[in-house]
Amino acid sequence: MKAVTYTGAREMTVLDQPKPKLKAPTDAILRVTTSGICGSDLHMYDGRTPLKEGTVVGHEIMGVIEQVGEAVQSIKKGDRVVLPFNIACGFCFNCLRGHTESCLTMNPEAPHAAYGYAGMGPYSGGQAEYVLVPYADFNCLKLPGTPGDQWEDDFLLLSDVFPTGYHATELAGVSPGKTVAIFGAGPVGLLAAYSSLLKGASEVYVVDGVPERLQKAKDMGAIPVNFREGDPVEQIFQLRKRNKGIQQSFRPGEEKMQGVDCGIDAVGYQARDDRDPGKEKPTQVLESVIRVVNATGQVGIIGVYIAPDPGARTEEAKKGIHPFPVADFFDKGLRMGSGQAPVKKYNEYLRDLIVNGRAKPGRIVSHHIRIDDAPDAYDKFDKRVEGYTKVLIRFDEKAAA
């Protein structure tokens, strides 16, 4: 089978790899119809997350079941399914509490397991024609329709970025009427904004420096803020001050509430310095989020922070240790949530929003490609080439139509 394979820093190559075989009676083989290139794949592509050469990558996967093990009961050949990117057993202590992002059995050496990702177990990725699905009954979400229909893009995003964006709003405590600032307008940031609006947030600000991304945020109903035009926190403060309706509703003292109720870091450790966007500043977004959130507000960190990071500028940063304004955090009485999304906690309900026309996350997709075009797409996505917001690899002839 054809598979996108990591062959070195900034080298993704389409190679012939062995088609997977069942290893356990609880496994299934999935024929992939669509797979996504994720922003977190770029950490490996850039050589910032050490990955063994020859690894098949890709953790955003959907398709049609080709074969099932004899113990699989709820999934059968021909079923259309999408896979949560985090692989879980369904029966360990964490899984039973709904924390499938931290399954205790699928990767004993680390807190997480995933398809085709560094440090997340020995599982082959799904930017390939076929993929092995462990514990298929638990890890497959059944889907209506047929490959290539009106839901193909939307359903693929249930594998990661839609539940992850939604989880970011849960971490930040977004609820009806609240105001939200999201830093980063990549796929997760855009869908965090979309999820905030679905939840009824009254104002959603999205900070980024790429015009095409900011336009997508605006098209969703969010307020775009370009950090290349000045301090994004000050821009949000000024936008809030210009809203006469808000200003007229304040009681004495409340005019100090120039910021927002909820802040989301959807960038992580490869954030750019606001003052010099050509340079990285790992703590830039963390600092900005803490500044922009009002006292007693809530912060959600969904952007990735990792260790080891061979590309970091300091020895501390290589270990994942960064300065943090803990005094400001404490003084404001903020709450913070972080970590990988438990996709299974949300994907069924988000699927039903899609099927019933209440959500259309596929609106963020910018490109559909064939697998042979994946190396070029990685390069353009990594360089933030104009328009490359979300790239999907199509395998099925119907899905590719």
pLDDT per residue as tens digits for the range 334-373: 999 999 999 999 999 999 999 999 999 999 999 999 999 9
Distances (CA, A) of 220 to 20, 357, 358, 367: 40, 15, 13, 18
pLDDT at 401 over 70: no
The pLDDT of 44-50, averaged and rounded, is 89
Place of tokens 């390939």: 128
- pLDDT > 90 fraction of the chain, expressed in percent and rounded: 83
* Full domain range(s) for residue 255: 165-338
Determine which helix (DSSP H) or strand (DSSP E) holds 261, and give its type and residue range: strand 260-265
**Mean pLDDT value across the chain:** 94
Which of 319, 338, 357 finishes a domain?
A: 338
Which of 295, 317, 338 finishes a domain?
A: 338
Distances (CA, A) of 137 to 73, 74, 213: 7, 6, 37
pLDDT for 400 equals 52
Place of tokens 């006469």: 244
pLDDT for 123 equals 97
pLDDT at 135 over 60: yes
Within this chain, do residues 320 and 364 fall inside the same structural domain, yes or no? Answer: no
Domain count, the chain: 2
pLDDT band at 307 (very low <50, low <70, confident <90, very high): confident
The pLDDT of 290-306, averaged and rounded, is 95
pLDDT at 275 over 90: no
pLDDT for 387 equals 82
CATH, residue 121: 3.90.180.10
pLDDT band at 109 (very low <50, low <70, confident <90, very high): confident
Rounded to whole angstroms, the Cα distance separating 261 from 164 reads 20
pLDDT for 247 equals 78
pLDDT band at 310 (very low <50, low <70, confident <90, very high): confident
Within this chain, do residues 322 and 353 fall inside the same structural domain, yes or no? Answer: no
Within this chain, do residues 213 and 295 fall inside the same structural domain, yes or no? Answer: yes
Write the pLDDT tens digit of every residue in 242-267: 887 787 788 887 777 789 999 999 99
With CA atoms as reference, report the closest residue to 292 among 254, 261, 337.
261
Within this chain, do residues 36 and 95 fall inside the same structural domain, yes or no? Answer: yes
Tell me the pTM. 0.95
Within this chain, do residues 18 and 108 fall inside the same structural domain, yes or no? Answer: yes
Rounded to whole angstroms, the Cα distance separating 160 from 364 reads 14
3-state secondary structure at position 382: helix
Tokens of residue 152, six digits = 């193909």
pLDDT for 191 equals 98
Rounded to whole angstroms, the Cα distance separating 306 from 299 reads 19
Contact 103, 114 (CB under 8 A): no
Within this chain, do residues 127 and 43 fall inside the same structural domain, yes or no? Answer: yes
pLDDT at 150 over 90: yes
The pLDDT of 75-93, averaged and rounded, is 97
Which of 322, 338, 354 finishes a domain?
A: 338
Within this chain, do residues 56 and 152 fall inside the same structural domain, yes or no? Answer: yes
pLDDT band at 175 (very low <50, low <70, confident <90, very high): very high
The pLDDT of 64-89, averaged and rounded, is 98
Within this chain, do residues 76 and 210 fall inside the same structural domain, yes or no? Answer: no
pLDDT for 397 equals 63
Within this chain, do residues 246 and 363 fall inside the same structural domain, yes or no? Answer: no
Within this chain, do residues 46 and 103 fall inside the same structural domain, yes or no? Answer: yes
The sign of the torsion formed by the CA atoms of 55, 61, 63, 65 equals: positive
pLDDT band at 398 (very low <50, low <70, confident <90, very high): low
Task: State the pairing for strand pair 293-301/335-338.
Answer: parallel
Write the pLDDT tens digit of every residue in 195-236: 999 999 999 999 999 999 999 999 999 999 999 999 999 999
The pLDDT of 149-167, averaged and rounded, is 98
Range from 53-57, 186-190, 293-297, 393-397 carrying the lowest mean pLDDT = 393-397
284, burial (CB in 10 Å: exposed 0-12, middle 13-18, buried 19+)? buried
pLDDT for 302 equals 97
Within this chain, do residues 32 and 56 fall inside the same structural domain, yes or no? Answer: yes
Within this chain, do residues 41 and 119 fall inside the same structural domain, yes or no? Answer: yes
